Amino acid sequence: SVHVHWHRRDLRATDNHSLSAAAETGSVIPAFIFDPAVLEFASPPRVAFMLESLSELRAWYRERGGDLVVATGDPREELPRIAREHGAERVSWNRDYSGLASKRDEEVREALTDAGIEATSVDDALLFEPGSITTQQGETYAVYSYFWKKWRDREKESPVSAPDGEQLASVSGDSLPSQEALGFDDPEATIPDAGMEAARRRLETFCADPIYRYADQRDDPAADATSGLSPHLKWGTIGIRTVYEALDRAKSEAPDEAAADSCEEFESQLAWRAFYAHVLDTNPHTVTANYRSYENPIQWQTDAAALQAWKDGKTGYPIVDAGMRQLRAEAFMHNRLRMIVASFLTKDLMLDWREGYAWFREKLADHDTASDVGGWQWASGTGTDAQPYFRIFNPMTQGERHDPDAEYIRTYVPELADVPAETIHEWVALEPDERASVAPEYPDPIVDHAARREAALDMFEAARGDE
């Protein structure tokens, strides 16, 4: 029998639950649909990553005698049409947990059922689907550490294999649309390498050695010591079971205990992704509303010029500017920097986290609603397990601690390329004429951190209803 697998955020052939189940039943037709209603929420870097991954996936199928069937339109119409055209009895896909997607999936299921076609969806994107790791009362954890212990101790599934050539229906798909034809500008960033092969290489390289230094170096942006897997996990160019298996193997082959602990540190980051997926699933309103409720509304400020300076990486705080410029240049930002720039926006500039979230959503190739919202709410003191409102990052201290040689800063802020690290770390404390003489092109700080720290504390205390 013929079976359609609908690819969405699972742009891979290996370790793909719905695809491998479909292949087992005989003859599978992989399909991808450009849905204008979904593309409305997309952005240039993400579309670029997606198109490159799709092009590689299609080549993978073609090399094996199959093809990727491509359509543009409403999946409620396109999927029944594709199924009918090829005589398929069944359409399946991997579940997408975000609120909007699950509603759409339900509608697609109805349309297929009405057309007499069987529709199934399965879990795939996470090791443990939302709702499966709960407190004894069956509630979603609000504190990560408890979630992590359960996640860590539960047995994990192994990867499933890719279909082989005989399991692919011989069909021929249309060509893929261009970035421009989809209505998106050039991303103006060097997008991370996309596709299954790039993901596999990243995982292999990371698990061969950097994973053993991860615990020590993950907060050091210049070391480039993290896996870089986030866009691949977002787009499903690698399966989570494959990542887990490689990490587990690295752990069992670790040269010493510290190296094994380092593997566990990496493992615990994967659990953050699952934690935030759980949180968003039970709290879909937190995409726009604060997770943690305060007595009074937080009086965020409005300051278009400050917001623009933050976006442009021109705040005059070197570490903040370096992070914001990495985002623009690479559609990616190191995790430590995401925390620093988010704290700066919400505490030093006292701007609403939703402004920052909107910018990240536009610029990140790895933008994932659950992790992005989770990260922003955590950093701004409104989220689960949040950084308490009174713990405010000092951007100068953060820069000195995490980028002592200012290597990361100098990579992204060319105006400071020739300035010694000590001077960079003192930038804010320098006299204006000193700043003008060492780096005339680089801006003066747009706010005074000490004063803003006090003002932000007042803002949060007023929201808490404190005197």
* 217 scored as a contact of ligand FAD (CB under 6 A): no
**270 is an annotated ligand-binding site residue:** yes
Distances (CA, A) of 91 to 5, 7, 19, 267: 6, 11, 10, 33
User: Rounded to the nearest whole angstrom, what is the least distance from the CB of residue 330 to ligand FAD in the complex?
Assistant: 11
User: Rounded to the nearest whole angstrom, what is the least distance from the CB of residue 294 to ligand FAD in the complex?
Assistant: 20
**214 is an annotated ligand-binding site residue:** yes
Supply the DSSP string of 196-260, one letter for each residue. Answer: HHHHHHHHHHHHHTHHHHHHHHTT-GGG--S---HHHHHHTSS-HHHHHHHHHHHHHT-SSHHHH
* 273 scored as a contact of ligand FAD (CB under 6 A): yes
**366 is an annotated ligand-binding site residue:** yes
Q: Which of residues 233-252 bind ligand FAD (CB under 6 A)?
A: 233-234
* 380 scored as a contact of ligand FAD (CB under 6 A): no
C-beta of 163 vs 192, nearer to ligand FAD:
192
For the beta carbon of residue 188, count every other beta carbon within 10 angstroms: 11
The position carrying tokens 């396109």 is: 78
**Pairwise CA distance, residues 369 & 287, whole Å:** 7
The token pair that represents 363 in the structure block: 């610029």
* 267 scored as a contact of ligand FAD (CB under 6 A): no
Q: Helix or strand or coil: residue 120?
A: strand
Q: Which stretch binds ligand FAD (CB under 6 A): 37-45, 167-175, 371-379, 446-454?
A: 371-379
Q: Which of residues 287-346 bind ligand FAD (CB under 6 A)?
A: 335, 338-339, 342
**275 is an annotated ligand-binding site residue:** yes
**Pairwise CA distance, residues 205 & 227, whole Å:** 9
**229 is an annotated ligand-binding site residue:** yes
Q: Are 189 and 45 in contact (CB under 8 A)?
A: yes
User: Rounded to the nearest whole angstrom, what is the least distance from the CB of residue 417 to ligand FAD in the complex?
Assistant: 25
User: Rounded to the nearest whole angstrom, what is the least distance from the CB of residue 231 to ligand FAD in the complex?
Assistant: 8
**273 is an annotated ligand-binding site residue:** yes
User: Rounded to the nearest whole angstrom, what is the least distance from the CB of residue 349 to ligand FAD in the complex?
Assistant: 14
Cα torsion 121, 239, 8, 47 to 10°: value is: 160
* 384 scored as a contact of ligand FAD (CB under 6 A): no
**236 is an annotated ligand-binding site residue:** no
**Pairwise CA distance, residues 326 & 329, whole Å:** 5
**Pairwise CA distance, residues 186 & 44, whole Å:** 6
Q: Which residue is nearest to ligand FAD (CB)?
A: 375
**Pairwise CA distance, residues 108 & 74, whole Å:** 9
**Pairwise CA distance, residues 221 & 41, whole Å:** 30
C-beta of 229 vs 259, nearer to ligand FAD:
229
The token pair that represents 202 in the structure block: 């990243």
C-beta of 375 vs 445, nearer to ligand FAD:
375
User: Which residues make up the interface to ligand FAD (CB under 6 A)?
Assistant: 218, 226-230, 233-234, 269-270, 272-273, 276, 335, 338-339, 342, 360, 364, 366-368, 371-372, 374-376, 379
> Per the annotation, where are the binding residues for FAD?
214, 226-230, 266, 269-276, 366-368
Residue stretches of the annotated binding site: 214, 226-230, 266, 269-276, 366-368
